[in-house]
Amino acid sequence: MIARYTHEAMTALWSDQSRYRAWFDVELAACRAMEEEDVVPAGTADVVAPVRDRIDAHRIDTIEATTRHDVIAFLTHIEELAGPSARWLHLGLTSSDILDTSMALLVTHACNLILGEAEEFALVLRRRADELRDVAMVGRTHGIHAEPTSCGVTFALWYAELQRNMVRMRRARDAMSVGKLAGAVGTYANVSPQVEARALAALGLRPETVATQVVQRDRYAELVFAVAQMASGIEKMAVTIRGWQRTEVGEAHEPFGRGQKGSSAMPHKKNPILSENLCGLARVTRGYVTTAIENNALWHERDISHSSAERMMIPDVTSVLHFMLRRAKSLADGLVIHRDRMAQNLDLTGGLIYSQSVLLELVRRGLPRQKAYEAVQRCALSDGSDVTFRQRLSEDPLVSAHLSGEELERLFDVGYHLRHVGRIIDRAIGAAESRS
């Protein structure tokens, strides 16, 4: 988490204050559950509850300097604030009961922030897919002009992938919505499954099916992967925009603010820096995926090696993705589309992008596929002169024997190529809607 790439909502969520409050909420929920199960004296939780607003992160740090154990320092501080009733807190629990359960609360919150931004980003993509559905542009494979497509289809593609990634994120949130109040080795030695069930239900969580001292870390790996996947979907959009904004392509450019400067050296520059920035951040998220998987196979009933990695990783990946979504949304929203350049570029190859249409028509007229292919390739690849592909076709003996000039003409029709595009876009939008 660096300030540059962290929105204040995430800064607040991952602050010490916020984390200690989440710990407190878990302790209190456990205490109430124990009251209901007659394990601690009735009324204890009500006595302790008001302390929440007086938790002092600095004081806890001071105590931890001696205990070298964060949860014990926290409990000592709560006892300072709440007096003797506080001794009923944490009864039969182990630190990980608090840490993992509160982490579930915090991560669930982080996922909700992420999904909220993703929803807004999705709305922008959908609107633009719709708005740009009839804007023809050249499709490129291998960076080479292939056949026509529509600009709206590309936005629909990003939208459809974002929907898949939102499904993955919801699943990851669900996998993380698991707490554990089962004691030192997960056997409920000094706490009961009933207490756990009550407390977790109050917190909106489910119990871990089988826990060791901790909630199992395959759940965390799923979260980090879901983040990296969603980041990779944003990267896909960013790479495409960077391609569109290249000087020679010029089909789109990123919003460029008043007073913005593209280069300290070259005043003419307008660079796709938002997109480039998103690509770099996506790399950071995927670097963490192997870290997250490595954290899973702990020794026996747990070792604590995952902990240091998670302290950096979980705030990092959630806040970076959250930042990316906000940036991606405004980028998609403000992206300037140059329809004229799209139209010009469509014609750039003098019709080569319709070579398949000619090939197929020749096959339909009875030519063997490989023979037809060679004929069309022959007309397409001859370099050096100004003769266009269409001219060469009309002069080719084999081609002209099967296709008249008029018949050829009809094959060079962008409208025909795009006749199914509306259907694709509607399918993408519809698919998502039926899911929500």
Active site residues: 142, 263
Piece of 17-25, 107-115, 139-147, 395-403 that binds its own copies (CB under 8 A): 139-147
User: In Å, what is the CA distance from 95 to each residue of 27, 75, 188, 219, 370?
Assistant: 10, 10, 14, 19, 71
In whole angstroms, the minimum distance from the beta carbon of 429 to its own copies comes to 10
Q: Which stretch binds its own copies (CB under 8 A): 18-26, 28-36, 116-124, 184-192?
A: 184-192
CB of 304 or CB of 405, closer to its own copies: 304
By CB under 8 A, tell whether 277 contacts its own copies: yes
In the numeric block, the tokens 């974002």 are attached to 162
CA distance 242 to 277: 11
By CB under 8 A, tell whether 296 contacts its own copies.
yes
6-65 residues in contact with its own copies (CB under 8 A) are: none
- Return the number of the residue (164 or 326) whose C-beta is nearest its own copies: 164
CB of 54 to its own copies, least distance (A): 19
DSSP character string of 175-217: HH-EE----TTSS-SSS-HHHHHHHHHHHT-EE-SS-SSS--T
Q: How far apart are CA 227 and CA 170, in angstroms?
A: 11
376 contributes a contact to its own copies by CB under 8 A: yes
Nearer to its own copies, 137 or 203 (CB): 137
In the list 37, 119, 147, 396, the residue contacting its own copies (rule: CB under 8 A) is: 147
Q: How far is the CB of 53 from its own copies (least distance, A)?
A: 22
- CA dihedral sign, ordered 330, 332, 334, 335: positive
* Binding-residue pattern over the window 406 to 425 for its own copies, x denoting contact by CB under 8 A: ----------xxx-xx-xxx
| Residue 350 Cβ vs its own copies, minimum distance, rounded to whole Å | 10
> Could you say whether residue 221 binds its own copies (CB under 8 A)?
yes
SS3 114: helix
Q: Is 401 a binder of its own copies (CB under 8 A)?
A: no
**CA-to-CA distance for 13 and 302, rounded, in angstroms?**
27
DSSP class of residue 116?
Answer: H
Binding flag, residue 184, its own copies (CB under 8 A): yes
How far apart, in whole angstroms, are the C-alpha atoms of residue 242 and residue 54? 50
Task: Output DSSP code: residue 102.
Answer: H
Q: In the block, which residue shows the tokens 């409050």?
A: 21
Q: Could you say which residues in the range 298-357 bind its own copies, by CB under 8 A?
A: 298-313, 315-316, 320, 345, 348-349, 352-353, 355-357
3-class secondary structure for 14-59?
A: CCHHHHHHHHHHHHHHHHHHHHHCCCCCCCHHHHHHHHHHHCCHHH
Binding to its own copies in span 229-258, by CB under 8 A = 229, 232-233, 235-236, 238-240, 242-243, 245-249, 257
| 390 binds its own copies per the rule CB under 8 A | no
Reported as half-sphere exposure (CB side, CA atoms, 13 A), residue 175 has a value of: 17
Q: Which of 12, 387, 401, 431 binds its own copies (CB under 8 A)?
A: 431
Q: How far is the CB of 119 from its own copies (least distance, A)?
A: 18
- Asked if 288 interacts with its own copies (CB under 8 A), we say yes
Q: With beta carbons less than 8 A apart as the criterion, state whether 40 and 85 touch.
A: no
Is the distance from CB of 98 to CB of 90 less than 8 angstroms? yes
Which residue, 59, 94, 64, 57, is CA-closest to 212?
Answer: 94
Nearer Cβ to its own copies, position 139 or 334? Answer: 139
- Using the rule CB under 8 A, is 143 a contact of its own copies? yes
Sole binder of its own copies in the list 8, 266, 406, 436 (CB under 8 A): 266
Q: Which candidate, 206, 205, 212, places its Cα nearest to that of 188?
A: 212
Measured from the CB atom, is 54 or 420 closer to its own copies?
420
- Which residue in the set 23, 121, 220, 225 belongs to the binding site for its own copies (CB under 8 A)? 225
Instruction: Tell me if 222 contacts its own copies by CB under 8 A.
Output: yes
Interacting residues with its own copies between 67 and 126 (CB under 8 A): 67-69, 71-72, 75-76, 79, 84, 86-95, 98
Q: What CA–CA distance (Å, rounded) separates 419 from 344?
A: 20
At 231 the three-state DSSP class reads helix
**Nearer of residues 291 and 394 to its own copies, judged by Cβ:** 291
**How far, rounded to the nearest angstrom, does the alpha carbon of residue 385 sit from its chain's CA centroid?**
48
